[in-house]
Amino acid sequence: MKNALLAIPLLATGVLIAGCAASSTSTTATAGTGAGTSGASTSATSGVSAATTTASPGTGTSAAASGTPACTSADLQVSLGGGDGAGMSQNHTGLQLKNIGSSACALYGYPGVSWVAGADGHQVGPAAVRQPDSTGSAEKTVILAPGALASAPLDIVDAAVFSPSACKPVPVRGLRVYPPGEKAALFLSLPTQAGGYGECSGATPDAELSIGYLQAGVQPGGGGAG
């Protein structure tokens, strides 16, 4: 089940070319390495490379309009952190993008996120739906100095709450993440634990993944049980 999946450590991860939880401690995926065993990196060809997907890149026009170059996938490192943490049937966390480049860059809008599985990195289930904003604020361009990060609220519903006949759960390798406006994706290793339930490959009445727009800093909340 998802709570078992979220409790295991993340592995090494990498940047993908092509269509592509949780504790208070951030878990990271660094650009330039492939998926491998904990503490070790392997070549990108052993990761989820050259895979097709129906997930769409996020918006990114206003980042370019800010006068600061838009962040590219090569500038960024993806991780999970912040948010309210795991509840009874879902996890409320933050999808974090950190500027690992040597100069400032800009982000605007929603990342694209989906589960992936198999050696070919095929997409599992629908891509994350966009969360409506309930705060009355609006999307803003986030300027990231080197070492700074932006985050978007990410909700992951436990696949076990859905009917197995509708959900059709399958084991997954992790999340494919498109920074806004990018066609090169980042991969965050988050595999189903051996014997775990997996993630939904079929249509479910409610979205299993939902993502908000990027904001400066870590998502508020202690990351504990909610």
- The model's pLDDT over 114-151, given as tens digits with 9 standing for 90+, comes to 999 999 999 999 999 999 876 667 789 999 999 999 99
Task: Between 202 and 48, name the one with better pLDDT.
Answer: 202
CA–CA gap between residue 130 and residue 124 (Å, rounded)? 17
CA–CA gap between residue 113 and residue 20 (Å, rounded)? 8
Strands 215-216 and 149-157 come out as: antiparallel
Full-model pTM: 0.74
CA–CA gap between residue 196 and residue 198 (Å, rounded)? 6
pLDDT greater than 60 at residue 17 = no
The mean of the pLDDT values for the chain is 77
- If pLDDT is split at 50, 70 and 90, which confidence band does 167 have? very high
CA–CA gap between residue 126 and residue 110 (Å, rounded)? 16
- Residue 121 has a pLDDT of 95
- The model's pLDDT over 65-78, given as tens digits with 9 standing for 90+, comes to 668 999 999 999 99
